[in-house]
Amino acid sequence: MPRTTHSTGPYDSDFDDPLFDVNLEGYEPDDKERTMGMLGHLAGYAGLTGIPFGNIVGPFLVYILKRDESAFIEDQAREALNFQITMTLAGIVSAILVLVAIGIPMLLIVGIWWVVGTAIGATKANAGEWYRYPGAIRFVK
């Protein structure tokens, strides 16, 4: 489905911007859209390659390059980008809190949720679901 307006899928109530009020209820993404949506989530693993902030750069590139092709791809790449930004900030705060010892378990929890959450998002997108990460801050609308 070509993207003609901004959309956030069936989660329009998550945002207050009237430009995002598009009803896509009942819309089913095709195979290409599901694959690209999954890639948007999996691109977060680019941080494992040693590229500084690769976990943010990967979903950002999918978002910028593919957002005009489909509302589903745009939505899932945006969601992945927001999750990766949130996890990066949580990791930085946890690293700082290592100085007072509480950061050590926080780093462990953030790291596990980053790996598992990204895999869950990719799986849900591949199944054609408009996935939302619990606790992710919506920096990019």
Read off the pLDDT of residues 73-131 as tens digits, 9 standing for 90 and up. Answer: 999 999 999 999 999 999 999 999 999 989 999 999 999 999 999 999 999 999 999 99
Q: Which of 80, 71, 87 is nearest to 41 (CA)?
A: 80
- Provide the pLDDT for residue 39: 96
- Higher model confidence: residue 21 or residue 134? 134
Q: Identify whether the C-beta of residue 44 lies closer than 8 Å to the C-beta of residue 88.
A: no
Helix boundaries (H) for 1-141: 31-42, 54-66, 71-97, 103-126
Q: Please say if the pLDDT value at position 49 is more than 60.
A: yes
Give which of 63, 117, 64, 108 is closest to 86, Cα–Cα. 117
Rounded CA-CA distance 86/66 in Å is 22
List, for residues 1-48, the tens digit of each pLDDT value.
444 444 444 444 444 444 444 556 677 899 999 999 999 999 999 988
